[in-house]
C-alpha cells in the first residue's frame, strides 16, 4: 500500500500489489499454523492479518536473531520510527505499505 495524505490530514491508502505479495510471502515462508486460519478470513481482513503478522515477525526476528544489544535497540528504534511515519500517512517499506490500508480500515491503534 502507498498512501496519499488528503488536505484534511486523513490517509487515503492506494493499492500496492508488491507490498501485499511481500507480506503474504512472509506468512507463507514462516510455516506458521496461523496461515490456515488467516486463509479463511474475508480478503480484506486476511490481507490485514498478513501485514500485521509480517510486522510482528520482523520485530520478533530482531529479538530472536543473534546480535549486539545496541544493534537490536537501534533496529527496534527504526521500527518505532516506521510506525510513527505510518500513522502520519507515510510508508517506506513493504510491511508498512501493506499496513496503510488496514490501519485506516480497521482503526488499528498505534500502541
Split at pLDDT 50, 70, 90, the class of 29 is very high
- DSSP codes, 66-98: ---HHHHHHHHHHHHHHHHHHTTT---SHHHHH
Q: Tell me which residue of 61, 60, 55 sits closest to 108, measured CA to CA.
A: 55
Global pTM reads: 0.83
- The answer to the question of residue 21 being in a domain is yes
Tell me the per-residue pLDDT of 52-85, one tens digit each, with 9 for 90 and over. Answer: 999 999 999 999 999 999 999 999 999 999 999 9
Phi, psi at residue 107, to the nearest 5°? Answer: 50, 50
- The answer to the question of residue 110 being in a domain is no
Per-chain mean pLDDT for the chain: 87
- The answer to the question of residue 39 being in a domain is yes
Whichever domain contains 52, its CATH number is 1.10.600.10
Distance CA(65)–CA(91), nearest Å, equals 25
Number of domains in the chain: 1
**Which residue range(s) make up the domain with 38?**
2-105
Take residue 3 and report the three cell numbers written for it.
498512501
Distance CA(29)–CA(34), nearest Å, equals 12
- The answer to the question of residue 56 being in a domain is yes
pLDDT at 91 over 80: yes
Amino acid at each position: 500500500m502507498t498512501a496519499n495524505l488528503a488536505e484534511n490530514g486523513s490517509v487515503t491508502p492506494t493499492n500496492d500489489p508488491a507490498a501485499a505479495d511481500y507480506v503474504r510471502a512472509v506468512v507463507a515462508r514462516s510455516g506458521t499454523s496461523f496461515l490456515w486460519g488467516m486463509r479463511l478470513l474475508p480478503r480484506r481482513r486476511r490481507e490485514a492479518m498478513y501485514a500485521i503478522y509480517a510486522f510482528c515477525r520482523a520485530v520478533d526476528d530482531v529479538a530472536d536473531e543473534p546480535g549486539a544489544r545496541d544493534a537490536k535497540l537501534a533496529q527496534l528504534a527504526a521500527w518505532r520510527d516506521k510506525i510513527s511515519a505510518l500513522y502520519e500517512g507515510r510508508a517506506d517499506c513493504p510491511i508498512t505499505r501493506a499496513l496503510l490500508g488496514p490501519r485506516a480500515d480497521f482503526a488499528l491503534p498505534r500502541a
